[in-house]
Amino acid sequence: MIRNALALGLALGLVSTAALADETEKTEGWSGTGELGFALARGNAKSENLNTKLSFVNEDDQWKHQFNLSALRAKGETSGDFDGDGIEEERFELNANRYQAGASSALKMNERAYWVGTLRYENDDFAPSEHQTTFALGYGYSVIKNDTTLLNLEAGPGYRRAKNASTGETDSDTIFRAQAEFAHQLTENTSLDNLLLVEAGDDNTFVQNDFGLKVAMNSKLALKAGVQVRNNSDVGPGVDKTDTLTTVNLVYTFR
């Protein structure tokens, strides 16, 4: 199954890249990146995992539009008495399956201030919520904006609709959304970035932090090491509040 997912991810990445490349010839302002990481282990231990990301940006003097897609899928060996016969067994089964899509549009008021609307959808088989959708409107400000460093802060009210994995019920609540985006060019070919997202509501407070260090090999290809930390304040019995994901991906940049 994961080999099919890998093939599909590669195909989608190539198709999207080609489509964007054609589009950029017609419309200035489009740029984007595609990331792909895959690991396969056999022998004393068996595991398979795939993670992929696509992001697109279109910006002019008045608007900035952003779109992103990401997927995580992993299988591994687990031990336990699955059939209740008192004998421990091993299974090779799915232990991560997450898909996420997001979009935002920002209307610039001046060089630093802007109004922004955001939409995020997530489907996760191993999270407190099977799937959730959030929408928010907010105010953004570029605290630092120069050739090497960027720091954007956003905050505003929003709305969340989520299906509880334990009860199967769908809940809705108002949220407060805040985001801090930081990027810095360390050297000519090395950069780091950090994105902190907070969606706080009465039912749950979701926090996600993505840190990445990227080393460019040329104008198109780079290697990126990343650490993602996710935390939910309200989880069911036996479910950890915090999840951590460490990745090393190949990045392709298209403009």
Cα–Cα distance for residue pair 73/38, rounded to 1 Å: 10
Q: Per-residue pLDDT averaged across 96-104, rounded? A: 95
Q: Per-residue pLDDT averaged across 110-123, rounded? A: 97
Q: Give the residue with greater pLDDT, 79 vs 54.
A: 54
What pLDDT, on the 0 to 100 scale, is given for residue 28?
Answer: 59
Give the pTM.
0.83
Among candidates 55, 158, 184, 61, which has minimal Cα distance to 114? 61
Residue 201, C-beta contacts closer than 8 angstroms, at least 6 positions apart:
160, 173, 174, 175, 176
Q: How many domains does the chain have?
A: 1
CATH of the domain at 139: 2.40.160.40
* Domain span including residue 245: 2-254
Among candidates 242, 3, 220, which has minimal Cα distance to 126? 242
What pLDDT, on the 0 to 100 scale, is given for residue 145?
Answer: 95
